Structure 1
Amino acid sequence: MRDLLKQAAPTLSRLRFLVQLLTFALSVYGGLLVGSYAAQKISTALPALSCAYDSVNGGYCVLVPLQHQMDHRVGAVMARAQQVTVQVLIPVFVTFSTFLLFFFVLGKAFCAWVCPLGTVQEWLFRLGRRLGFAMTPVPAGKLRWLRPVKWLVLLALVFVVPLLAGLGYAPHSAGNPYCDICPSRIVTTLLTANTEELAIRTGADGFSLGLGIVGNLLAGFVVAAALAVRQPFCRICPMLALNAVARHAALLRLSKVEHGKCDKCGICTRACPMDIPEIHHAHGRRAFNEDCTLCGRCAEFCPDDGVIGIKFGPLALFSSARDYYKKRVRGETPEGEVKPIRIVRKPARETHAG
């Protein structure tokens, strides 16, 4: 019974799960509470993949207005040079300012604590552990060529292609190409029993049709891959790239101090859902890598006191501790394998006849 109570004690991951559950309900179903019209006014610049195609959404991610503004505002206005005025600058400035205001407070934690697609991937990975699927980590060698993909997606599909559509060099259907392939468009809308986004628009032009096919294939791949690979889409997500640009300016950040045992340990990288090797080898600002989502697992599974922590400005919100590590590994391995609960029964006391 004592072991059961210890395993049921609050942990950072349980707190993150509660936050994920709450923000998942708000981002995917929040419009049911305030109405779809009011939900559109809550925010259109969330630093998380909260899909605008979800008809009962509680707020949209910043990638939606950025694409539309590249197409309908920046591109269209630049095509008419006499209108290159505040019609371009103000909307883009407001979008980025709203994004930065959100980001300044919680930073990259939006990825691990708020983003509904990130939450779905994490839950699928846990399901995969229950079903006995073999876990597949991404080795450091593959990360070198995988990491630039998110920057290419951000540059090409969020900025360049919508801008070309606004200038008239790309078809009108290219105004929001990232949304056409984003897995969140299909995954989260299916969770609201909306199957419309799953359908491929065969009557559309070739560009739109191609993006629709890619989007369906990508969504299916992400769902299947998440059963064995931790956070597969997060690794190429343009929101992760956008959040990485200003990660050091946010109040919430990851910190790591140099420690003599780190070279021989490496548990933090094994615990990291993004397989980040820098958290093992580096310290200081370099340990807070561009792929970090601030989930906090590296700090949870660090076996030494005060080495890895999460700070909000000068305040330490959570710091690694050996006692916490011992409690954490009783129920789960750093890689995410859940250990079975063992019930230890005390031997019955012997009674002696008088």
Structure 2
Amino acid sequence: MKNRYQKTRLAVQIVFFVLILYISVGHYLAEKHIAELPGVASLHAVCPFGGVVTIYNLVTDGSYIQKIHPSNLYVMGGLLASLIIAGAFFCGWICPLGSVQEWFGKLGKRVLRSHYNKVPVLLDKILRSGKYLMLLFVIIQTARTATLLFSNFDPYYNLFNIWTDEIAITGYIAVFLTIGASFFVERPFCRYACPLGAITVLFNSFSLINIRRRASTCIDCELCDIACPVGIDVSKVTVVRSPACNRCLKCVAVCPTNENGTLATRAFFSRKSDTRRKEIPARIYILVAALAFLLPIMISVFVGAFETEKTRVYVVPEDIKGSTSFAEIIDNYSLSKEQLFNSLGIPESASVELKIKDLTGILGFVGEEEVISREHIALLVDKYNDPITSMADRAKADFTEILSLVESAGLNGSDSVSEVMKEGPRGLFAYLFSGRWPSESSAVDTLVIEAPLEDHGKSTSIDIKGSTSLSDISSSVEDFEAFLEHFGIPKDEPVTSQLKDLKTKYGIEVSDIKEYLSEER
């Protein structure tokens, strides 16, 4: 009986561990353009805690926090369903970080034997409050900053990214402390620091299925107490409601009188310890708990709602990024395809799915500057209702000539930017911003080709990762001071500082720097 429960549990743990490892590796390979594995998102997109920490933002302003996706809400929904039905089953059977801690703990138990998992009772009680303090801290700071603050020192995320060299020093510390402590204590992070665990364990008190002991058939052998990895005195209670319980079922598996249902999983309404109501077989409990977690996720995937890319919210012009498509601009602002393509001289055969950063492949450079950049598009949105004369200070061409061209189209200087974009000469604003008319022979088949910058002063061909230094960045951007200002990095920051150090100091993600450089390109 013991082997059957725990072999099934080990199989479930391995499946979810391999799945998360596959997602991590696949996402890294896709970001590096090495390979594209099917069905791969980022680890952030499949973490249920992401759904918890973004709720405040969703309720207050309808947006997700940085790096959180719609998929997180469905994973959180699956977790909630599992918690209501089966208590902290997720922690004991599914969570990959919990499994890794447990596997290292088995090694520690073999070496330390009776000295393993011996934490003084008073110290253990004090340390257990740590996960509630961590939960409070993460929620407050996430709501305040609208960023996924916990990722900098989350051992789960950093463990599965530790080989990428793109994590902060705090991430390394969190991983090594967690794994190291697991050698001495059973699941230390789960017991003392996990903010998600602070939520899951609360459901042990009122889950629909829980572990119950029948006193009338119990022989007080206390084998269940010995088997419990987190030190719960199962033989002293009627219902196992302890916040430390992760529903591993080791106590149920070792009970010698279980043919009488002494220690078994029963429904919430079986209130008396000596009830003759038939218990729920452990295999049914495991199946129901696993399906409760997986079904909401599977249904959301089936109906196409499990989005692993964050839905961008466009409110102000500054929300426009280099990776924003013209379709998104048309959908979220007052500009039309006709206005955009006419004013910028974009070939009519181009798709509205064209991204701003890909315009360089069509319109190219003037000297070292792009003909049209993200800032130019944002300016058109911002000045949409203003007279064309409001653009005078942004003109690279002679503005008197610009007004002459506007008048030749039957318009005048008091007409709005939107009217001139629609009715004015084709490519007028590309000329206004760059001083050069876009070529009519621009090839549309170059829409997805990013023009290299080697011929324009600087190069962005460096491989951006955690070990990349500020010195490397300074040689790849047009305006290094603008880069520092954009990310709030002091000008006296040593150029030898690596990106992973910046993440620790200023909370700057490597992926954000990649996006910035992509937009610069």
TM-score, length-scaled by structure 2: 0.43
Question: What is the match of residue 254 of structure 2?
Answer: 301
**Which has more radius of gyration?**
2
Distance 2:248 2:229 in 1: 8
CA distance 1:150–1:291, change in 2 (3 Å)? same
Equivalent position of 2:48 in the other structure: 62
Q: Cα offset for 1:249?
A: 4.8
The CA deviation at 1:69 is 4.3
Counterpart check, 1:310 vs 2:265: yes
Structure 1 residues 253 and 33 mapped into 2: Cα distance closer, same or farther (>3 Å)?
A: farther
Q: Which residue identity lines up with residue 219 of structure 1 in the other structure? A: V
Larger mean Cα displacement after TM superposition, 220-229 or 242-251: 242-251
Q: Name the amino acid aligned to 1:189.
A: N
Equivalent residues of 2:79, 2:90 under 8 A apart: no
Aligned equivalent of 1:240: 197
Q: Select 1:140's aligned residue among 115, 118, 121.
A: 121
Deviations 1:124-152 (A, max 9, x none): 11222344564132343333222222222
Residue 217 of structure 1: how far off its partner (Å): 2.7
Deviation string for 1:15-62 (max 9, x for gaps)?
A: 111111112112331477896684449xxxxxxxxx52xxxxxx6222
CA contact (8 A) 2:217 2:262 kept: no
Q: CA deviation at 1:94?
A: 6.9
Query: How far apart are the structure 2 equivalents of 1:97 and 1:136?
Result: 33
Q: Which amino acid aligns with 1:256?
A: R
**CA separation of 1:230 and 1:98: change in aligned 2, threshold 3 A:** closer
| AA at the equivalent of 1:146 | L
1:22 paired residue number: 15
In structure 2, what is the Cα distance between the partners aligned to 1:315 and 1:266? 21
2:145 match: 165
Could you tell me which residue of structure 2 aligns to residue 194 of structure 1?
164
Any idea what the Cα deviations from partners look like across 1:200-245, whole Å, max 9, x if unmatched? 3xxxxxxxxxxx3xx4333212111211211111102222221123
Distance 2:252 2:267 in 1: 15
Deviation at 1:163, TM superposition (A): 1.5
Measured in 2, the distance between the counterparts of 1:302 and 1:140 equals: 25
Match of 1:112 in 2: 92
CA distance in 1, matches of 2:134, 2:158: 18
Which residue identity is paired with 2:199? L
Return the offset for 1:123.
0.8
CA distance in 2, matches of 1:261, 1:104: 28
SS at match of 1:310: strand
| 8 Å CA contact 2:49, 2:76 repeated in 1 | no
Q: Distance in 2 between matches of 1:37 and 1:298?
A: 40
Helix, strand or coil at the partner of 1:136: coil
The alignment yields a C-alpha RMSD, in angstroms, of 3.5
Q: Which runs of 5+ in 2 are unaligned?
A: 28-35, 65-69, 269-277, 284-521
The 1:95–1:161 alpha-carbon spacing in structure 2 relative to 1, beyond 3 Å, is farther
What is the alpha-carbon distance in structure 2 between the residues aligned to residue 273 and residue 139 of structure 1? 15
Q: Secondary structure at the match of 2:106?
A: helix
- Given residue 50 of structure 2, which amino acid in structure 1 is its aligned partner? V
Is 1:268 equivalent to 2:268 in the alignment? Answer: no
Indicate if the aligned counterparts of 1:138 and 1:275 stay in contact, CA closer than 8 A: no
Letter of the 1:194 counterpart:
T
1:182 corresponds, among 122, 142, 154, to 154
Deviation at 1:13, TM superposition (A): 0.9
Instruction: Give 1:127's match in structure 2, choosing from 104, 107, 114.
Output: 107
Matched, 1:231 2:217: no
Deviation of the 1:87 alpha carbon: 6.5
1:280 aligns with 2:235: yes
SS at match of 2:281: strand
* TM-score, normalised by the number of residues in structure 1: 0.61
Over the matched positions of the two proteins, sequence identity in percent amounts to 23
Confirm whether residue 156 of structure 1 aligns to residue 128 of structure 2. Answer: no
Is the 1:179–1:185 contact (alpha carbons within 8 Å) kept by the matching residues of 2?
yes
The residue type paired with residue 20 of structure 1 is Q
Q: How many angstroms does 1:255 deviate by? A: 1.9
Would you say the 8 A contact 1:251–1:312 is kept in 2? yes
Q: Write the distance in 1 (CA, Å) between the matches of 2:90 and 2:76.
A: 16
8 A Cα contact 1:64 1:179, kept in partner: no
The structural deviation recorded for 1:194 is 2.5
What amino acid does structure 2 have at the position aligned with 1:310? Answer: T
8 A contact 2:24–2:160 mirrored in 1: no
Paired residue for 1:208? none
Give the aligned residue type for 1:316. Answer: I
1: distance between equivalents of 2:176 and 2:15? 25
Q: Count how many residue pairs are aligned between Structure 1 and Structure 2.
A: 256
The CA deviation string for residues 306-337 of structure 1, in whole angstroms up to 9 with x for no partner, is: 22223467752239xxxxxxxxxxxxxxxxxx
User: How much does 1:299 deviate?
Assistant: 1.4
